[in-house]
Amino acid sequence: MRRILAALLLAGISACTGDRQGPRSVRLEAFMEGVPVSKGARFQVKDIKIGKRSVRSLFRPIPPTIPTTIRLLYDSKDSVILAVKDESNLVNLQATLDAERTEHIQLILEDPNHSAFRRFLRDLTTILPHRWRPRFSDEVELAIQGTPEQCERITRIVYRRMNDLIRQRLEQSGQTGRPVSLNTVFALLLTDQLDAYISTLDPVDPRAECVRVLELLKWIRGDQLSGFGFRRYSIDANLGAFLDAVAGTLNSSLKDWPDHRLEIQALGFGDSIPVRQQGIVLSYDSSGVSALLRKSGTPDVHYALCVGDKRDVRPFYIQLGSRAGQTVGEHINNNCEIGAVRSFFVVEYLATQLPSTNIDFSYATGGVSTTGATGAANRKVDILITLQSGRDTSE
């Protein structure tokens, strides 16, 4: 009996002690898929903390493990999977790391087994040195690998969120057949917590690369010009950055949906003031599309169902490369034509970034916008993207 008790005591002490290891290094993005974390089989996850803050609510529920008696006696190990619920929770996780000024995440573990033997073991071993006493709680620490510099974090968060929103809407479009309005993506970005997170960061060096990303976010919010310059149709840096992000998402999406087609439609609007009598010169040099700057001649822009400075125009979309409708010519003479030219170059810009197969590009003029906005907010292009089955449904 004494030998059995001694064996149980030694096994119990072995299970309750054990060497603590240094923090394991993981990438923050890995929490999207799930990070396996090893722990003693008898321990359950009580909390997940960054500094003094609990972040357990950001993670998916962790089911309790129920080890056998043998596994309890022989310092057995098992693992749990740590995965955030969604992208916004990953953003909040990064924000908490920044706020607490740490790169470590802690799993707080406890032993829920309060049996008589455990209590006997705890009382019996009080005479032992502290390092040999049984533990009824434990911690596992994770070090976030290569936490990116502030500028890189801003860039990653803004573009990743934009990418996710567009993909989500495209998947819905493939199911419903309804187009995705990038205005909707703008609105969702505005309701996100990106601004709240970025406002907690230190000021960014104006020479830093991510200043362009911050300017893009301001542009989306409408703090700065959200449309084209007056009497202009060139693609500026902010619109170009957004179109680059859209093109990147669409390129990756097409690889995932090889049996589908994309329909991209751009609806351009003119200015609220009539064009001067001498008109606006139409040329590739003023397009802001670097891939088109080497082209000579007058861009072949067409439009229909719009006259002069008409408002409330019903869009008539023209396929890129088609000569349907009226031709704008060497000079832009009215707002119907400005709207057509603006949408034409947005579509041309995307066409230089995307494959020529499985995508239909078209553009239209909306005349003068009647949304009630003023100034640059009226001088805009609305972009609609529809995901369609590429299979022939006529049979």
**Cα 13 to Cα 16, 55, 72, 119, 314, distances in angstroms:** 5, 32, 11, 13, 80
Model confidence pLDDT, tens digit, residues 195-205: 555 555 555 55
| Banded model confidence at residue 8, pLDDT cuts 50, 70, 90 | very low
Is 40 or 208 the better-scoring residue by pLDDT? 40
Largest CA distance in the chain: 109
State how far the Cα of 322 lies from the Cα of 301, in Å rounded to an integer.
Answer: 9
Q: Give mean pLDDT, residues 71-100.
A: 79
Confidence check: pLDDT of 134 > 80: no
Contacts of residue 60, Cβ cutoff 8 Å, sequence gap at least 6: 81, 83, 84, 85
Confidence check: pLDDT of 86 > 90: no
Q: Which helix (H) or strand (E) holds 331?
A: strand 331-332
Q: Give mean pLDDT, residues 30-35.
A: 90
Q: What angle do CA 46, 47, 49 make, to 5 degrees?
A: 155
Confidence check: pLDDT of 225 > 50: no
**Cα 217 to Cα 87, 89, 282, distances in angstroms:** 18, 20, 30
Model confidence pLDDT, tens digit, residues 316-370: 999 999 999 999 999 999 999 999 999 999 999 999 999 988 899 999 999 988 7
Q: What integer best gives the mean pLDDT of the chain?
A: 77
State how far the Cα of 282 lies from the Cα of 341, in Å rounded to an integer.
Answer: 8
6, 10, 11, 15: CA torsion to nearest 10 = 150
Contacts of residue 218, Cβ cutoff 8 Å, sequence gap at least 6: 224
Return the pLDDT at 168: 78
Q: Dihedral of CA 343/344/346/350: which sign?
A: positive
**Nearest residue to 353 via CA among 238, 243, 235:** 243
**Nearest residue to 266 via CA among 172, 162, 372, 361:** 361
Confidence check: pLDDT of 371 > 50: yes
**Nearest residue to 366 via CA among 317, 302, 288, 314:** 314
| Banded model confidence at residue 114, pLDDT cuts 50, 70, 90 | low
Is 72 or 24 the better-scoring residue by pLDDT? 24
